Chain A
Amino acid sequence: MRRAQETQGAQGVRRARRAPRGYLAAGPIAIPLARAGVVAGLAVLVLLLAAAVATLSMGRLGVPVPDLLHALTHGPSEGKQAFVLERLRGPRLAVAVGTGAALGLSGALFQTVTRNPLGSPDVIGLSAGAGAGAAVAALLLPGTLPPWAGALAGAALAMALVYFSTGTGFRNPGRLIVAGIGVYAIATAIIQYVVYAVERDRAAALTAYVNGSLSARSWEHAATVWATLLAVVPLVLLLSRRLAVTELGDELAAGLGADPRRARSAAVVLSIVLSAGAVAVAGPISFIALTAPQIAKRLTRLPGPHLTLATLVGALLLVLADLAAQQAPLPGSLPVGVYTLALGGLYLGYLLIREWRKGSL
């Protein structure tokens, strides 16, 4: 085991010094291009495309696949199709892809930095904080402060609380989890109080938002999350080489001339910005940021940060969950966050049992 790590480390050093094999590298940018990774990425991309087509074409209002091709190349042919594609499901799909990608990348960055498979912003209270912020905004300033602004403030406050209460930043997994539970408890108490205090219809709407919902999203929502991605992804690319080096351990990284601490802080900030962008448009959707990097890691079994693949997997997961939310034969439509909460929780439970059996956590 140790020998394997050492050889891996040595390979990493070689990779980091020269334009490495298996990496597409230019200056500070290093994108891993191992065959397994590329194959997995293409597979996820194909699945994502299939899920997107299904989202647009399934159900009572769906546009059949042949019409869909025609509409995409020549513009929608009739009123109903135009309504479904341009107002109803098109923007919703764009928001789902963008939000899922942002969450997947956010989780991958966070887990790379904390070297902790559970160190995802939502496990340590970001979602709950965002929900509490939105709830307070709805209670104290109804109509003036939009819920997303409250959610952003709440998320930032929750992360600051966790960061300062651990005393070691985001490093120690045990402390991170316990501090996250404390922040989660406060946030939940706030949400429950507000849900108790307002009248029923507003309480139900608030509960749906607090769970993370994609219903009734417009192109403005899509633009917000895609703009966040467009702004952050180039910065992540610029950071990617230093992050790949940080994976080797602090001492090695420092020996190679990369300041691991600065790279790490930058990655955490970018991760939180991505999560916040996702929260702003879709509310606090749980567990995508946690599970996407883990699935990406298991798809390829390669070392290193799986940033690209985690981004794609995040998008795929959220589109699939939203497909379920739209098409599931349940009374009343549930917000997509309820689905990700259930599925993510089950996956996390499976993961925990497996890791613990191996004694690696």
Chain B
Amino acid sequence: MTHPGSRTRPALILLAALAALALAALASVASGSHPTSVQEVFSVLNGTADPNTAAVVESRYPRTALGVLAGLCLAVAGTLMQGVTRNPLADPGLLGITSGASAAIVTSMAFLGASGHWSTVVWALPGALAAGLVVYVIGSAGAGAGVARLVLAGAVVSAVLMAYVQAVTLGNPKVFDSYRYWVVGALGGRDFPVLWSVLPLAAVGLALALLLAPGLNTLALGEESASALGANPAVVRAGGLLAAVLLSTAATAAVGPVAFVGLAVPHIVRALAGVDMRAQVLLSAVVGPALLLLADVVGRIVLRPQELMVGVVTAFIGAPALLLAVRRMRDGS
């Protein structure tokens, strides 16, 4: 860490990532069923555009803002989970957290007459927490917990929860209708109030993540060294997972389940920023939004005038990457 280059390099990478995010945000605001040029977008930002163009561009602000928020939450959550569990496949979707949130939200809609985005957040959180806890307990039970085991535990818990969700939604046409629009994972058709409703959760999660990053660094040195350095491994680990659940709940409640952002971004970030968790968390908070916005732009372009939802796009980008990574898995892990 005393080497002068090692201090400037992360800063440069962060700057480059911020530039990429700015470009992605620009593309997100400019693209859509009525495409606008970059000049037009700038004229809107200056306040010199004609009212029609301004209205079109401004109508895209909530979508872009939601993309930034959801991307940030998912990426930081994934980084925390992979850092805490030391499992390169840890991801909010694979570990059952999103299914837990889905099951709780569907329950509230079907049996308790809940509606609106505030109740979505309020119900999603306990569901996500409970599911995450069960997966973690099953997946790390016994000796020699492998990488595949935690994922498998997540798949099992998700399967049971999804059976419940299917049972409830198929028996209740109204719930089915709102559920199918939520579960596909889309940034469009949502407004700023949705953003405000999940913002507190996201803020607490991010603050916790930044607070715990140094502790996670010492944890990487091993249990004993961590204790010797004054960090309580159990507290750091539980806090890290709690922050991850808060962040992924915020993202899921806002835009629905979006796969693979939480899985892929930590890998990109580790390759760029190395092992320091502080740098990883900061960088993933920038790379995640950039990636999600780009995926959303792609979804708006490929099927024009129709749209492909961002959750579908990320699955189509992320799953092949996962399949390619399978070949490099060590045998027996």
A345 pairs with B163, CB closer than 8 A: yes
A341 pairs with B160, CB closer than 8 A: yes
Q: How many Å from the CB of B141 to the closest CB on chain A?
A: 5
At the interface, yes or no: B259 with Cβ under 8 Å from chain A?
yes
Q: Report how far A181 CA is from B153 CA in the complex, Å.
A: 12
Given contacts A174-B332, A192-B184, A353-B142, 8 further A-B contacts (CB under 8 A): A174-B147, A174-B329, A179-B323, A189-B311, A192-B183, A204-B176, A341-B162, A352-B149
For window 306-338 of A, CB contacts with B under 8 Å fall at 330-332, 334-335, 338
Q: Report how far A143 CA is from B171 CA in the complex, Å.
A: 26
Chain B residues in 8 Å Cβ range of A196: 180-181, 184, 309
Q: Could you list 5 A-B pairs, sorted by A, with CB under 8 Å? A: A123-B155, A332-B171, A335-B170, A345-B156, A352-B153
Q: How many Å from the CB of A248 to the closest CB on chain B?
A: 21
Q: How many Å from the CB of A119 to the closest CB on chain B?
A: 12
B146 pairs with A174, CB closer than 8 A: yes
A345 pairs with B173, CB closer than 8 A: no
Interface residues on A, range: 35 or more
For window 295-333 of B, CB contacts with A under 8 Å fall at 308-309, 311-312, 315-316, 318-320, 322-327, 329, 331-333
A178 pairs with B151, CB closer than 8 A: yes
At the interface, yes or no: B89 with Cβ under 8 Å from chain A?
yes
At the interface, yes or no: B231 with Cβ under 8 Å from chain A?
no
B323 pairs with A183, CB closer than 8 A: yes
**Which residue on chain B has the smallest CB distance to residue A162?**
B323
**Which residue on chain B has the smallest CB distance to residue A179?**
B326
Most buried by B among A331, A332, A335, A349: A349
**A-B pairs, 10 with minimum CB distance:** A189-B315, A345-B160, A356-B142, A341-B163, A342-B163, A345-B159, A165-B323, A332-B171, A182-B322, A174-B148
B148 pairs with A173, CB closer than 8 A: yes
B180 pairs with A338, CB closer than 8 A: no
At the interface, yes or no: A177 with Cβ under 8 Å from chain B?
yes
At the interface, yes or no: B152 with Cβ under 8 Å from chain A?
yes
At the interface, yes or no: A286 with Cβ under 8 Å from chain B?
yes
At the interface, yes or no: A218 with Cβ under 8 Å from chain B?
no
Query: A341-B163, A359-B144 given as contacts; is B312 within 8 A of A189 (CB)?
Result: yes
**Which residue on chain A has the smallest CB distance to residue B162?**
A341
Q: How many Å from the CB of B125 to the closest CB on chain A?
A: 23
**Which residue on chain A has the smallest CB distance to residue B169?**
A207
Task: Tell me what chain A mostly uses at the interface: helix, strand, loop, or mixed.
Answer: helix
Identify the A interface with B (CB < 8 A).
Answer: 118, 123, 161, 165-167, 172-175, 177-179, 181-183, 185-186, 188-190, 192-193, 195-196, 200, 203-204, 207-208, 211, 286-287, 330-332, 334-335, 338-339, 341-342, 344-346, 348-349, 352-353, 356-359, 361
Q: Report how far A357 CA is from B185 CA in the complex, Å.
A: 37
Query: A161-B323, A185-B318 given as contacts; is B144 within 8 A of A349 (CB)?
Result: no
At the interface, yes or no: B164 with Cβ under 8 Å from chain A?
yes
At the interface, yes or no: B177 with Cβ under 8 Å from chain A?
yes
Which of A183, A193, A349, A357 is within 8 Å of B309, CB to CB? A193
Q: Report how far A186 CA is from B319 CA in the complex, Å.
A: 6
A178 pairs with B312, CB closer than 8 A: no
**Which residue on chain A has the smallest CB distance to residue B144?**
A359
B142 pairs with A193, CB closer than 8 A: no
Q: How many Å from the CB of A10 to the closest CB on chain B?
A: 27
B180 pairs with A192, CB closer than 8 A: yes
Query: A173-B148, A186-B319, A349-B157 given as contacts; is B173 within 8 A of A200 (CB)?
Result: yes
Q: How many Å from the CB of B120 to the closest CB on chain A?
A: 18
Q: Report how far A187 CA is from B294 CA in the complex, Å.
A: 22
A165 pairs with B151, CB closer than 8 A: no
Most buried by B among A181, A183, A286, A330: A181
Q: How many Å from the CB of B180 to the closest CB on chain A?
A: 5
Chain A residues in 8 Å Cβ range of B316: 186, 189
Chain A residues in 8 Å Cβ range of B123: none
A195 pairs with B180, CB closer than 8 A: yes
Most buried by B among A161, A172, A178, A211: A178
At the interface, yes or no: B229 with Cβ under 8 Å from chain A?
no
A192 pairs with B160, CB closer than 8 A: no
Q: How many Å from the CB of A112 to the closest CB on chain B?
A: 20
A338 pairs with B308, CB closer than 8 A: no
Chain A residues in 8 Å Cβ range of B208: none
At the interface, yes or no: B292 with Cβ under 8 Å from chain A?
no
A338 pairs with B170, CB closer than 8 A: yes
At the interface, yes or no: B167 with Cβ under 8 Å from chain A?
yes
B156 pairs with A348, CB closer than 8 A: yes
B326 pairs with A167, CB closer than 8 A: yes
A167 pairs with B94, CB closer than 8 A: no
Q: Report how far A286 CA is from B87 CA in the complex, Å.
A: 27
At the interface, yes or no: B143 with Cβ under 8 Å from chain A?
yes
At the interface, yes or no: B138 with Cβ under 8 Å from chain A?
yes
Chain B residues in 8 Å Cβ range of A356: 141-142, 145, 149
B152 pairs with A118, CB closer than 8 A: yes
Q: How many Å from the CB of A200 to the closest CB on chain B?
A: 6
A165 pairs with B326, CB closer than 8 A: yes
Q: How many Å from the CB of A68 to the closest CB on chain B?
A: 31
Chain B residues in 8 Å Cβ range of A190: 312
A185 pairs with B141, CB closer than 8 A: no
B170 pairs with A186, CB closer than 8 A: no
Q: Report how far A352 CA is from B141 CA in the complex, Å.
A: 9
B180 pairs with A203, CB closer than 8 A: yes
A204 pairs with B94, CB closer than 8 A: no
**Which residue on chain B has the smallest CB distance to residue A200?**
B177
A181 pairs with B322, CB closer than 8 A: yes
Q: Report how far A286 CA is from B160 CA in the complex, Å.
A: 11
A352 pairs with B152, CB closer than 8 A: yes
Q: Report how far A357 CA is from B143 CA in the complex, Å.
A: 7
